[in-house]
Homo-oligomer: A and B are copies of this chain.
């Protein structure tokens, strides 16, 4: 039974919303409340809860702390996951700053860059190594997850080295499709495509509005 990609994404979002609710003192939540916060339907939330094996009561809805724990058991590894970053440019540094202390189960433990002026330093609590050390450090530390934030031309080579060193999941910021063996998972974040989509649909909406009114 393979959990759908979309479901995993929503669970991650639910968890953050639930943690925020808990911090505000909320103890129980109905599917339609969580749905509204997450921007999905109530039926969708209930389906997703089935995936993590959580049930609620008709009277009170779902128990917030219990939900948070179950989603954690489902999503997280037992041990915190070590993450590598390749490419300490603008995006790479932004990611370091962003993840510093945010998700304790995902710890950026090593960064790599070609540029000697960036290496052998500690940035945002993460040591930067020369790119040549990538294979050995990833292998030594048993790193399974890596972020690729290098220019498009370099992305495939970097991915190849990472995969050979044992990485099983890649978060790719380079605006190209990376080829990997079947046993490796790749998620792309392509800001150019995203912005072009936004511009396209923003225009559509305008056109539609005119034609309707």
Write the nearest CB–CB distance from A198 to chain B, whole angstroms.
4
* Complex interface: stretch among A25-33, A53-61, A109-117, A189-197: A189-197
Q: Are A171 and B195 in contact, CB atoms less than 8 angstroms apart?
A: yes
Q: Are A202 and B189 in contact, CB atoms less than 8 angstroms apart?
A: no
**Docked pose: A186 CA to B205 CA in angstroms:** 11
Q: List A residues 156-202 near B (Cβ within 8 Å).
A: 167-171, 175-179, 183-187, 189-202
Q: Does A22 contact B (CB under 8 A)?
A: no
Given contacts A98-B91, A183-B205, contact A171 B189 (CB under 8 A): no
Q: Does A81 contact B (CB under 8 A)?
A: yes
Given contacts A185-B201, A204-B2, contact A37 B195 (CB under 8 A): no
**Docked pose: A71 CA to B187 CA in angstroms:** 25
Q: Are B93 and A205 in contact, CB atoms less than 8 angstroms apart?
A: no
Q: Are A8 and B201 in contact, CB atoms less than 8 angstroms apart?
A: yes
Kindly identify which residue among B13, B168, B176, B192 contacts A103, using a CB–CB cutoff of 8 Å: B192
- Where the two chains meet, the residues of A that have a C-beta atom closer than 8 Å to any C-beta of B are 2-3, 5, 8-9, 12-13, 16-17, 37-39, 75-77, 81, 83, 90-91, 93-95, 97-99, 102-103, 105-106, 144-145, 147, 167-171, 175-179, 183-187, 189-206, 208-209
